[in-house]
């Protein structure tokens, strides 16, 4: 049996779950509501404030979906109760970021500024303090969406290995390379 799939998901206080006839799981909490369509073979049940995900047989497809849907439901429960937060740091001279509603305007050393429209489910904040790098903070209830948007922002200027310039996650350790050595 799947190690992850067989673990029950505990429901914190204030979080409710609803499983519809079409196998759509809806999780409602203090921060919002998330829903996920579940494969028809996977069963989701609520017992004693715990969510239990079961599979019908030991086929390879059922095994792989078992752990997947348990992890997705667990992420939804954490998202509606605590939320998720990602912080990105802009490292480089002249790099800046500014949030204007759901738009993120960044200057990343290109000949033009980059304006990125963010989904409504994500809240964005930017802060720039003297003598420190600008930081972009993304918060959301949806773990998949926030990870996708953070990766998209990072892909605009990934950190390079020599000086470390670019967009990196706060706390990320970069592999640095040695530069050119002096001639003989």
Residue with tokens 């429209």: 117
pLDDT at position 184 over 80: no
Which positions ≥6 away from 105 have C-beta within 8 Å? 97, 98, 99, 113, 114, 115, 116
Tell which residue, 24, 36, 11, 12, has the closest CA to residue 142: 36
Q: For the segment 130-153, what is each residue's pLDDT rounded down to a tens digit?
A: 889 999 999 999 999 999 999 999
Burial bucket for residue 54 (CB in 10 Å: 0-12, 13-18, 19+): middle
Q: Report all structural domains of the chain as residue ranges with CATH numbers, in order of start.
A: 9-81 (3.90.930.12), 84-169 (3.90.930.12)
pLDDT value at 43 more than 60: yes
Distance CA 52, CA 43 (A): 8
Q: pLDDT exceeding 70 applies to what percent of the chain?
A: 97
């Amino acid at each position: 049996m799947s190690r992850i799939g067989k673990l029950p998901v505990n429901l914190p206080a204030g979080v409710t779950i609803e499983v519809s006839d079409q196998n759509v799981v809806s999780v409602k909490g203090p921060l919002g509501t998330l829903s996920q369509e579940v494969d028809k073979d996977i069963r989701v049940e609520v017992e004693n404030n715990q969510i239990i995900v079961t599979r019908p047989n030991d086929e390879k497809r059922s095994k792989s979906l078992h752990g997947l849907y348990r992890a997705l439901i667990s992420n939804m429960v954490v998202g509606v109760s605590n939320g998720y937060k990602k912080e990105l740091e802009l490292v480089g001279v002249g790099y800046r970021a500014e949030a204007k509603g759901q738009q993120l305007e960044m200057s990343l050393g290109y000949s033009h500024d980059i304006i990125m429209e963010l989904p409504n489910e994500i809240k964005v904040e930017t802060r720039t303090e003297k003598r420190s790098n600008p930081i972009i903070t993304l918060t959301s209830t949806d773990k998949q969406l926030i990870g996708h948007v953070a990766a998209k922002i990072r892909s605009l200027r990934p950190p390079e290995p020599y000086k470390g310039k670019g967009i990196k996650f706060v706390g990320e350790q970069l592999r640095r390379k040695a530069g050119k050595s002096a001639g003989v």
